[in-house]
Chains A and B, each alone.
Chain A
Amino acid sequence: MSQVKSGEIKTMSQSKLDRRQFLKGLGLGGAGVALAGCDLPSYVTLEQGEENVISYLAPDEYVIPGVGVWYASTCLGCAGGCSIHGRVREGRVLKLEGNPDSSVNMGRLCQMGQATLQSHFNPDRIANPLVRKNGSLVEASWDDALSLINEKANSGKAAWATGAISGHQRVVVETHLSAIGGSNHYAIEQINANVWQTACGDIIGDPNPEIHLDKAKVIFSLGADFLATFISPVHFAAHYGEFRSVPRGTLIQAEPAMSLTGGNADHWVGIKPGTETSLALGVANALMNKHGISGSGISNATKSLINEHDPATAASICDVPADRIEKIAASLAANSPSIVLAGGTATANANGYSAAAAALMLNQILGNIGVTITSGRELAYPQLGLIEGNSANLKDLAVDANKGKIDVLFVSGTNPLFLAPKSIKMDEGWNKIGFKVVLSSMLDETASAADVVLPLASSLEDWGSHIPAYSTGTRNLALQQPLMEPVFSNTRGFGDVVLGLAKQAGAPGLDEYDDYYGYLRSAISVLKKTDSEKEWNSFLMAGQTPVPSLGRKLSYIDGKISQTANTATDGGLTLIASARMGMWDGRGANLPWLQESPDQISKVVWDSWAELHPKTAKSLGIKDGDYVTIKSSNGEITTRAFIYKGIHPGAIAVPIGRGHSALGRYAKNNGVNPLFILDGGVDAKTGEIATAATRVEVKNAGKNKPLAKLMEIDRQHGRKLVATISADKQRITEGGT
């Protein structure tokens, strides 16, 4: 439907709001978006003939103007793959809600899911294909762009870089990759649980075990921010709600800088960065020596490691009082079943894998494996499965590019130029790649540096199928379907573009499909072994469908704990590039809702900040709101200090996600990107970029400007705002042990 010429109305303040624009798309507007202020005297003509109505041509039965219709789809805010319902009225999607039938998010949604709407309606989306001419990107037609790709893509070593990818998109990407003769598919996700999953795969034989937070009485988490950034935050948060119900569980979080999960912990242990393994060993020591836990299945090598770490020793390594270690052990010993997790900052250093292994070792000696950590299910169609993506791939991409192993690169769903530390020389590698094609809906850093940019439809305008990162019980295939007509008419869906590229590259067997919808539908009908319209419609309505999966068996293989403390972080300050729900890995920075949604802990909006402990700040002469320069061997960033006690004195934490040089008006030149100055350290085992292990020097930059925060106070000043009751008293009235 073509765009409608506007009828303008005036508010009393004389501001003109073009109302017709709201009704673009399908149709008939019962009520436009409302404006206050038209307080006209009684007998003045009320807006006769100032608005238009476009009737439908031939609407569906269930489409009623003025009444919202809910369509099921899948949220692509992160790899979690929550199922959503989108409210559509007059052809516009207005609001997203969780799909109550989903086993991933049970009808709930996080702030990023809510804000997906703004990436859909974002004013800075790319409307037309862009092609680099004489050094700058200029608009071009699809035909020109595609023929240019056809010309260049088939010559040379090709590769794909994506974010987490699954379902049939993964299939078409890989089909295209093989059609153009490439083999490298770099799935890049800066925020991931790769170390934990690798360790789980190695040690208990299931990279993605089911984690039953709701069944646990104690959660001991080594840096795993399961409420915000760990695998499937909404799912875990939902289970956390159960965990906090009667009988109420206890959450113990050990990490150097407070995460959202840490912010909810009953006991928060501010630990020296990189020493989580020692803490786990210290706890194991106390458990075995003080609480008579046998430690079955633990090898002698590990036992000797444990014996080395009596609480006092562990305390001195971790900079945690010994009695707290014993308290943790006592809590774990007294309350069974429990669960021990590792992730986030604990795994983001050179011995991260050890920390994960130590966590699993604790689970083993506490008897949690098989109780709160149970086997997950593996998809029967591995080619559809989720490639989780990790930052090791990011480094690989940089290394391969620098080595000249890549001539043609297709990028979509990730932003390597923003995520890559300067130390891995992604910029140089990028320039060595002969031909870069970026498929994106936003002109981010990577797209700005591409040779061809293909404008994608937003996730709410596109077809797709997804395997959620995590779910319990049966595995589902989640459907992504368009909720409205494209906002920008010249954009195309990801599947359509890749399918077209694959066809263009001569991939076999695709010619029968006109578009990605056709491909998807037939592929799913093959999967479900039925092609009936009814089946398909019920799939559309449910937004998800179970796919066959196979059970796994859990085992326990010990002996993976190697290095216990990351000595590289001794002395000086350690930079923690902390992952936050909201900006995530930077993709949320162009959404004003997320920019204006205060960070959960610091309550800062619209800018980056550097968390510092008051003791450290005092010794460095830094006050709240001072600009501080953080200098590593790879450069420096300057941002403002946020001083509080939720961080280890030896650490400085800067959130990931801001500091874009592109990505639209809301993200550009806003904040700093701590990833740039990481020193290139990696986890020894998985190669994950260590985001919490860079030594930095911190200086006061000499300026002060208070941060924009939701609140300027940290205390309740004697008011009964958040009242607290001790768990013992709560148990008396509400039950539980």
Chain B
Amino acid sequence: MVKDSSTKRSIPWIRLSMLMVFVGAIIVIAAQVLDQKLHYVGEDVVPGPIVPGTQYPDEKFTGIDVPQPINFSHKIHAGDNEINCMFCHTYARRSKVSGIPPLSKCMGCHTVIATDKPEIQKLTAMWEKGESPKWNKVHDLPDFVHFTHQRHLKRFLFDNEELDVSDAKRVCSMCHGDIAEMTVAKKSRPLTMGFCIRCHEANEGPSDCTKCHK
């Protein structure tokens, strides 16, 4: 009997199977790591939280320009004049929506301030006619999502010992980006479910589906 199979190297199957198991484990772990990447942004990714004691995904998003009836400048109000976000968006701490300030609030200042500007004159004309401007929503979540500003402000601002109310801007910017540098607001965070989930995981927010889905 001529057996000449020594020249043909057969693969040692035990070693091979161990290798395969190892590779399998690597794949599983890699998947998990990838999964972690998708779900949880570690400290090295976040450029230092602006809100102390929190971590959140610093995902940038380039929104589209949404035209508004009046070219309201957040930069002038919140940036240059450092008006607190909640001065105008006064409902944010009391309701799920932050709200657009009522026209009377605008007119509270603009009967005296900057009355010569064309945009302000537009505003004044509307006020005199008793009309409200029809703003276009920039940060609009789908209708099956329940998001409440009230709870988030409490969690990150009012319950945060290192911040006081004047730091509202820092909390708002978690989801809205640096509005104070914008003129007309533009969406600068993706506000997708993944975005929400990552922040909830990082900050131990509720993970129950019905918290956010209605």
Give yes or no for direct A-B contact (beta carbon below 8 Å): yes
- Interface on A for B, CB 8 Å cutoff? 1, 4, 7, 19, 27-36, 38, 40, 42-43, 45-59, 64-67
Given A36-B144, A55-B103, are A48 and B66 neighbors across the interface (CB < 8 Å)? yes
**Which of B64, B94, B137 interacts with A45 by CB under 8 Å?**
B64
**Chain B residue with the shortest CB-CB distance to A52:** B134
- How many Å from the CB of B112 to the closest CB on chain A? 18
**Which of B99, B102, B104, B192 interacts with A42 by CB under 8 Å?**
B192
A45 to B192, CA, bound (A): 9
Given A34-B143, A42-B193, A46-B140, are A53 and B91 neighbors across the interface (CB < 8 Å)? no
Q: Tell whether B169 is near chain A: CB-to-CB under 8 Å.
A: no
Q: Tell whether B95 is near chain A: CB-to-CB under 8 Å.
A: yes
A48 to B66, CA, bound (A): 7
A34 to B101, CA, bound (A): 24
Given A40-B142, A45-B64, A48-B66, are A55 and B132 neighbors across the interface (CB < 8 Å)? yes
**Contact between chains at A46 and B102 (CB < 8 Å):** no
**Contact between chains at A65 and B97 (CB < 8 Å):** yes
| Residues from chain A with Cβ under 8 Å of B143 in the complex | 19, 31-36, 38
Given A42-B194, A59-B102, are A49 and B141 neighbors across the interface (CB < 8 Å)? no
**Chain B residue with the shortest CB-CB distance to A34:** B143
**Chain A residue with the shortest CB-CB distance to B140:** A47
| Residues from chain A with Cβ under 8 Å of B146 in the complex | 31
A447 to B135, CA, bound (A): 42
Q: Tell whether B8 is near chain A: CB-to-CB under 8 Å.
A: no
**Contact between chains at B132 and A49 (CB < 8 Å):** no
A42 to B189, CA, bound (A): 12
29 A–B pairs (Cβ distance < 8 Å), ordered by A: A7-B136, A30-B97, A31-B96, A31-B141, A32-B143, A34-B142, A38-B142, A38-B144, A40-B142, A40-B192, A42-B193, A45-B64, A46-B142, A48-B137, A48-B140, A48-B187, A50-B140, A51-B137, A54-B100, A55-B101, A55-B133, A58-B104, A59-B102, A59-B104, A64-B94, A65-B91, A65-B95, A65-B99, A66-B95
- How many Å from the CB of B18 to the closest CB on chain A? 38
**Which of B103, B139, B141 interacts with A58 by CB under 8 Å?**
B103
| Prevailing SS type, chain A contact patch | loop
| Residues from chain A with Cβ under 8 Å of B103 in the complex | 55-58
**Contact between chains at B97 and A66 (CB < 8 Å):** yes
**Contact between chains at A30 and B141 (CB < 8 Å):** no
| Residues from chain B with Cβ under 8 Å of A33 in the complex | 143
- How many Å from the CB of A27 to the closest CB on chain B? 8
**Contact between chains at B96 and A30 (CB < 8 Å):** yes
| Residues from chain A with Cβ under 8 Å of B139 in the complex | 48
**Contact between chains at B66 and A49 (CB < 8 Å):** yes
| Residues from chain A with Cβ under 8 Å of B192 in the complex | 40, 42-43, 46
**Which of A42, A57, A67 interacts with B132 by CB under 8 Å?**
A57
**Contact between chains at B132 and A56 (CB < 8 Å):** yes
Q: Tell whether B191 is near chain A: CB-to-CB under 8 Å.
A: yes
Interface string of B124-152 (1 = CB under 8 A from A): 00010010111111111111101000000
> For chain B residues 77-133, which have a beta carbon within 8 Å of chain A?
91, 94-97, 99-104, 127, 130, 132-133
| Residues from chain B with Cβ under 8 Å of A47 in the complex | 137, 140-142
| Residues from chain B with Cβ under 8 Å of A56 in the complex | 102-104, 132
Most interface-central of B133, B135, B193 (chain A CB within 10 A):
B135
A28 to B101, CA, bound (A): 10
- How many Å from the CB of B126 to the closest CB on chain A? 9
| Residues from chain B with Cβ under 8 Å of A28 in the complex | 97, 99-100
3 smallest A-B Cβ distances: which pairs?
A30-B97, A34-B143, A49-B66
A28 to B99, CA, bound (A): 7
- How many Å from the CB of B105 to the closest CB on chain A? 9
| Residues from chain A with Cβ under 8 Å of B101 in the complex | 55
| Residues from chain B with Cβ under 8 Å of A65 in the complex | 91, 95, 97, 99
- How many Å from the CB of A293 to the closest CB on chain B? 61
Q: Tell whether B3 is near chain A: CB-to-CB under 8 Å.
A: no
Q: Tell whether B67 is near chain A: CB-to-CB under 8 Å.
A: yes
**Contact between chains at A49 and B67 (CB < 8 Å):** yes
**Contact between chains at B102 and A51 (CB < 8 Å):** no
> For chain B residues 185-204, which have a beta carbon within 8 Å of chain A?
187, 190-194
**Contact between chains at B138 and A55 (CB < 8 Å):** no
**Which of B67, B96, B140, B141 interacts with A66 by CB under 8 Å?**
B96
| Residues from chain B with Cβ under 8 Å of A31 in the complex | 96-97, 141, 143, 146
